[in-house]
Amino acid sequence: AQSVTQLGSHVSVSEGALVLLRCNYSSSVPPYLFWYVQYPNQGLQLLLKYTTGATLVKGINGFEAEFKKSETSFHLTKPSAHMSDAAEYFCAVSEGTNFGNEKLTFGTGTRLTIIP
């Protein structure tokens, strides 16, 4: 069974400051890991994903995440926050197959607020 823990349901950072959203996972098989962003009244949009290979993954809008197997973590970072980054962020895990069947297990989400 898989699970995802997101530490901090609400995170506030000043505009221009570092964004760090934490995600830890549990999986009995090598996982695929994802970060999704949800803007108000919208669906989820993929920010970035880790499947295999390089453990530092770059995504859209300047975000990146690093897969650390020893720490079972996949934290999301952005060097300089922008007002447009205000949204809810979800970390998710899937079983990691090559067949595209992405049954995702989601964390409970982190709402990011940007302080002007």
Partner 1 sequence: NAGVTQTPKFRILKIGQSMTLQCTQDMNHNYMYWYRQDPGMGLKLIYYSVGAGITDKGEVPNGYNVSRSTTEDFPLRLELAAPSQTSVYFCASSGRQSTEAFFGQGTRLTVV
Closest contact distance (angstroms) between CB of 107 and partner 1 is 6
Of 17 and 104, nearer to partner 1 (C-beta) is 104
Closest contact distance (angstroms) between CB of 88 and partner 1 is 10
Binding site for partner 1 (CB under 8 A): 4, 9, 32, 36, 41-46, 49, 51, 90, 94, 98-109
Closest contact distance (angstroms) between CB of 53 and partner 1 is 12
Of 3 and 14, nearer to partner 1 (C-beta) is 3
**45 contact partners, CB below 8 Å, separation of at least 6:** 36, 37, 38, 39
Of 12 and 42, nearer to partner 1 (C-beta) is 42
Q: How far is CA 110 from CA 1, 22, 56, 73, 76, in A?
A: 22, 9, 21, 15, 11
Q: Are 55 and 66 in contact (CB under 8 A)?
A: yes
d(CA 106, CA 116): 30
